[in-house]
Structure 1
Amino acid sequence: MALPWTLHGDGKAVGANEVVAPGARLTWPRTIGLGMQHVVAMFGATFLVPVLTGFPPTTTLFFSGIGTLLFLLITKNRLPSYLGSSFAFIAPITAAVASEGMGGALFGVLAVGVLLALVGVIVQLTGTGWIDALMPPVVAGAIVALIGFNLAPAAKNNFVQAPLTAIITLAAVILSTVLFRGILGRLSIVIGVVVGYIAAVISGEVKFEAVEKAAWIGLPEFHLAGNPFANPALWGVLPAFLPVVLVLIAENVGHIRGVAQMTDPSVNKLTGRALLSDGVATVLAGFGGGSGTTTYGENIGVMAATRVYSTAAYWVAGIFAVLLGLSPKVGAVINTIPAGVLGGVTTALYGLIGIIGVKIWLDNKVDFSKPVNQFTAATALIIGIADYTWVTGGGVSFNGIALGTIAAIVIYHLMTLIARWRKTA
């Protein structure tokens, strides 16, 4: 069977004003090298999510690889993307694990995947206009920002356990961003973790007993999602998880538009398939013990730097991620990362998630002289950052992310509706 990619030019070089389209490729040695580069780009962020939430790292890697391969199949090999762990899941997973255990958290992940897949089907049939109407830039930016800033206490809790290691890690992240260019500059989080880890080893904070006992090859540690019909209390975790769907929609749509701008505008027609693919990948992860997935900005950066948008490289990355997931030794090493390293890297990382929301406002020139934009963003951010909580009479709990998301959507549309009514009254 013929492979679906055509050779770009001589397969060895990319011209100054050229890009390698999704349906093309370079020679296989170069394509494999690019695929490995995508693995390096996604690895730091993908393994941090399970480390921060207590999920098995190799299981998350395994499902991220499987999800990426499914994404490529469902989008007909026309949309380059790596589906790594979404940081939007960290806060709700942490809350759900504390109250209902890992099974409860996985039920939340699974529910998000089902809803995202349904959104994908609807978008495939109707287009993305209704998404833009529901979440204009001021709303989308507020939701992304409050999810990042809501995690600040978690970063602090790790930071204070080993302040010196945390400071070394944070400094390494910041300095590598400034000192290095190209792919190294984009891997500042990974570099920070490595430098901080070395410092932690020197100071005796890392224990290697579990690494020595772990096998090189073996199945990941699978866990089943909880059954809400057998344990109705699990329904109470959903309010914290459902806002994540809005973030995943925004991330996927932004990724597709970026790729379309660099390659072919017709890629935008794949938005519904992309959302469906991410939903299916997240459902699988929720069933088996992995974290929910999303398109990865780190890999978008690699494509922008190399101008190679070939989906062949992502097949290589997905397959290699699956292989990493089949090594318990890799998971054991990842689990040795101490609190100080996590505190340093998440101080920057969670803040960056928040700043991505601010960037959405800047890129779309949101006018904050308008009261509707002021109150939408201000109220949502305070609710999210302070982590307001509301427990209903039925015992269902809404945390700051859920309440902040609801506030952003309701305030914007209510104020807009009233303003229009006043003009016509």
Structure 2
Amino acid sequence: MKLGLGWKLYGDGSAPPPGEVVRPDERLSWGRTVGLGAQHVVAMFGATFVFPLLMGLDANLAVMMSGVSTILFLLIVGGKVPSYLGSSASFVGVATAVHASGGGIAEITGATLCVGVVLALAGVLIHLVGPRIILKTLPPAVTGAVVMLIGFNLAPVVAGTYWPQDQWVALLTMVFVVVATVLFKGFLGRITVLLGLVFGFALSWVLDAVTGPAGVPQEDGSIAEAFRVDLSGVAEAPWFGLPDFHAPAFEASAILLALPLVIALIAENAGHVKAVEEMTGEPLDGHMGRAIIADGVASGLSSAVGGPPTTTYAENIGVMAATRVYSTAAYYVAAIVAILFGLCPKFGALVAATPSGVLGGITVVLYGMIGLLGAKIWVENRVDFANPVVLVPLAAGLIAGIGGVRLSFGDLVIEGIALGTIITLLGYHLLAWLAPEGMKPRPLPEPRPVPER
């Protein structure tokens, strides 16, 4: 099996001109590749750091294992699917339910380890049978909706968490990223997300010095005065330290709570693969099984040492969409940097000190780009929205998944991407089965070429 560790130098190693792409088996100069790797670290760090905290797990271990999981993923897929693996948000609800029922972090990681094993076995089945089984289950109409759910479902994180912390810094950072993406040329135009973070960080520092503390909304609705940039945690953190490892424990109730997420994870992984396929222009259906195997193995490994389960990150797909550089070399750089961060609490504290307003400005652009990749899948595959068999379940699934609709079964709550995916998937296939022959979904005919006059 080829490991995909050999990269051809793209041109002279400089940034590609507009309209051109750097493919997974190519790379820019190592200096530029390191810069792109740093941008991928920035894109993944917020979510990879926050989700473990919400689950009660060690964030530094999560960051370190995200690097290990990414390397493992790239090796299993032979470097064909450029992706970064970070902490999965899908399990936050499960972790909350396990805590509510009296379980601890050992029971949580035991349940997520079982999910990783089942996910890997599902990937093996898909790899052996062929991608047609998942492509038949997830046609372009459904896949586009899942990709759109992945991106737009992150919108409440921006609107409810990051943006309100400092709306003006968020707005100016967003404007900087948007304008810089168009005006900056060459390599600078490819790292506008990283430059946006630096710009927002510097802006926040200046505002702290000139205007003083900002009013930060609290959970109870009150406003607290606080500086935008707080580096006290950086000063207190040591330079080197191992994260907290622990062994998982297996409890049937916790495992049963987590297992339904396998369905959503398969759809999420397939959606990410299709999104990368759309961006790179390279057929990746044959690697879909390997990608799901890799995610399952990586999640199991991370859970086995006490870390959170992992998933391919939509945030980093957004970075690729913005830069059009799909080199896996940049992901290896990002993975190595993440491992070093995980072993260095001081660096982790520095990145964690990024003001929320800055993250709001950056993520509002990235998450939107991810969602629109779903629309691109629809357009490229000429999905027929005039057919109610297609329109109705997709409409219901998108609103349920993006709008915060919840289904509760005792302590188990299904919402967000998982609920939207289930409604879209089951609704589409149920209506396609019930529909008369003339309404069954079929690809639209290719448009006839306009004759030249």
TM range (shorter): 0.7 to 0.9
AA in 1 matched with 2:428: Y
The answer to whether residue 168 in structure 2 is matched with residue 145 in structure 1 is no
The answer to whether residue 119 in structure 2 is matched with residue 116 in structure 1 is yes
Aligned match of 2:137 = 134
Q: Provide the secondary structure at the position in 2 that maps to 1:348.
A: helix
- Which of 331, 335, 339 in structure 2 is aligned with 1:322? 339
Q: Is the 8 A contact 1:139 1:376 kept in 2?
A: no
Q: Distance in 1 between matches of 2:144 and 2:362?
A: 23
Aligned match of 1:246 = 267
Aligned match of 1:339 = 356
Q: Is the 8 A contact 1:217 1:328 kept in 2?
A: yes
AA in 2 matched with 1:171: V
Q: Deviations over 1:54-107 (max 9, x none)?
A: 5455434322321232234334x4536342327xx33x3444455545837656
Q: Distance in 1 between matches of 2:39 and 2:357?
A: 23
Q: Is the 8 A contact 1:112 1:245 kept in 2?
A: no
Q: Distance in 1 between matches of 2:369 and 2:321?
A: 15
Change (3 A) 1:195 1:300: closer
Change (3 A) 1:290 1:37: farther
Aligned match of 2:180 = 176
Q: Distance in 2 between matches of 1:389 and 1:20?
A: 41
- Which of 407, 419, 422 in structure 1 is aligned with 2:423? 407
Could you tell me how far 1:335 is from its partner in structure 2?
1.7
Could you tell me how far 1:281 is from its partner in structure 2?
1.6
Aligned match of 2:69 = 67
Q: Is the 8 A contact 1:148 1:351 kept in 2?
A: yes
Q: Distance in 1 between matches of 2:241 and 2:121?
A: 34
Could you tell me how far 1:126 is from its partner in structure 2?
1.0
Q: Distance in 2 between matches of 1:71 and 1:176?
A: 32
| Superposition pairs of residues 278-357 of structure 1, within 5 angstroms | 278-287=295-304, 288-290=306-308, 292-294=310-312, 296-297=316-317, 305=325, 315-357=332-374
Q: Provide the secondary structure at the position in 2 that maps to 1:160.
A: helix
Q: Deviations over 1:192-217 (max 9, x none)?
A: 22222222223232211110121222
- Which of 205, 209, 216 in structure 1 is aligned with 2:239? 216
Aligned match of 1:396 = 412
| Superposition pairs of residues 38-117 of structure 1, within 5 angstroms | 38-53=36-51, 55=53, 58-75=60-77, 77=78, 79=80, 81-85=82-86, 89-90=88-89, 92-96=90-94, 98-100=96-98, 103=105, 110-117=113-120
Q: Distance in 2 between matches of 1:298 and 1:144?
A: 11
AA in 2 matched with 1:416: A
Could you tell me how far 1:415 is from its partner in structure 2?
1.5
AA in 2 matched with 1:175: V
Could you tell me how far 1:155 is from its partner in structure 2?
1.9
Q: Provide the secondary structure at the position in 2 that maps to 1:321.
A: helix
Q: Deviations over 1:142-177 (max 9, x none)?
A: 222234333333322232232222222222222222
Q: Provide the secondary structure at the position in 2 that maps to 1:397.
A: strand
Q: Is the 8 A contact 1:41 1:298 kept in 2?
A: no
Q: Distance in 2 between matches of 1:113 and 1:182?
A: 41
Moved more, 61-70 or 93-102: 93-102
More helix per residue:
1
Unaligned runs of 5+ in 2: 209-226, 441-453
- Which of 383, 386, 399 in structure 1 is aligned with 2:400? 383
Moved more, 211-220 or 252-261: 252-261
Alignment TM-score, normalising by the size of structure 2: 0.74
Q: Is the 8 A contact 1:64 1:85 kept in 2?
A: yes
Q: Distance in 2 between matches of 1:199 and 1:325?
A: 27
Q: Distance in 1 between matches of 2:365 and 2:49?
A: 16
Could you tell me how far 1:245 is from its partner in structure 2?
2.8
AA in 1 matched with 2:84: L
Aligned match of 2:159 = 156
CA RMSD, Structure 1 to Structure 2 (Å)? 3.9
Could you tell me how far 1:47 is from its partner in structure 2?
0.5
Q: Provide the secondary structure at the position in 2 that maps to 1:207.
A: coil
Q: Percent identity?
A: 34
Q: Distance in 2 between matches of 1:178 and 1:10?
A: 22
Q: Deviations over 1:298-344 (max 9, x none)?
A: 67569955xx95x6665555434323332211111122123322333
- Which of 192, 195, 202 in structure 2 is aligned with 1:198? 202
Aligned residues: 404
Could you tell me how far 1:125 is from its partner in structure 2?
0.9
Q: Distance in 2 between matches of 1:315 and 1:155?
A: 28
Q: Provide the secondary structure at the position in 1 that maps to 2:175.
A: helix
AA in 2 matched with 1:217: F
Moved more, 31-40 or 97-106: 97-106
AA in 2 matched with 1:405: T
Moved more, 344-353 or 106-115: 106-115
Q: Provide the secondary structure at the position in 1 that maps to 2:165.
A: coil
